[in-house]
């Protein structure tokens, strides 16, 4: 008869917290990034409808631009929470760059400068796809802060190396 004590320990991370998992904060960011990406992919469709001669497509494109911009601002808030709670700065910085590009694209589109509006749209969609892949391909888990003793030891090692050089 085999008992729990006779079983070998499970391979891989254990339930002691070593497992890298995405929590609620990370899932909220994933949801907002997904909605943002889907809304942004609708924009070229609405623009194409307008450019094919259906002038109602422009109204849809403007409404879509308002939606994409609003979701972008919501994504800034979600990414700021991820930075604060999970200590991950890259989602916030990437979102800030994306929303800045979207805002410029929005304003350029309102002036009718299509020579700048189209390439900014392509760049924004590409950036959103990269962001989407980034938040979905790896867990968004809390980064461990180094202990004070370990931080002091690495600082001392750095000073010793600088003194040896």
Q: Collect all residues with Cβ–Cβ distance below 8 Å to 155 and sequence separation of at least 6.
A: none
Count of other CB atoms within 10 angstroms of residue 45: 13
Q: What is the mean pLDDT of the chain?
A: 86
Question: Which pLDDT does position 22 carry in this prediction?
Answer: 82
Q: Where are the domains of the chain?
A: 24-164
The answer to whether residues 100 and 78 touch, using CB atoms and an 8 Å cutoff, is no
- Residue 132 tokens, joined: 């989407």
This prediction has a pTM of: 0.74
50-66 residue pLDDT tens: 999 998 999 999 999 99
**How many other β-carbons are positioned within 10 Å of the β-carbon of residue 104?**
14
Whether pLDDT at 162 is above 60: yes
What integer pLDDT is reported at residue 18 of this predicted model? Answer: 42
Please, are residues 72 and 36 in contact by the beta-carbon 8 Å criterion? yes
Q: How confident is the model at residue 139 (pLDDT cuts 50, 70, 90)?
A: confident
């Amino acid at each position: 008869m085999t008992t729990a004590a006779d079983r070998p320990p499970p391979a891989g991370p254990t339930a002691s917290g070593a497992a890298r998992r995405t929590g609620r904060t990370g899932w909220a960011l994933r949801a907002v990034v997904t909605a943002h990406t889907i809304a942004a992919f609708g924009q070229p469709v609405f623009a194409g409808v307008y450019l094919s001669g259906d002038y109602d497509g422009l109204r849809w494109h403007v409404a879509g631009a308002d939606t994409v911009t609003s979701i972008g601002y919501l994504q800034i808030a979600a990414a700021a929470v991820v930075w604060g709670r999970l200590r991950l700065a890259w989602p916030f910085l990437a979102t800030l760059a994306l929303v800045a590009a979207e805002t410029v694209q929005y304003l350029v589109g309102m002036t009718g400068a299509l020579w700048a509006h189209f390439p900014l749209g392509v760049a924004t969609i590409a950036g959103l796809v990269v962001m989407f892949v980034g938040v979905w391909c790896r867990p968004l888990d809390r980064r461990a802060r180094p202990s004070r003793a370990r931080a002091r030891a690495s600082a001392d090692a750095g000073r010793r190396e600088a003194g040896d050089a």
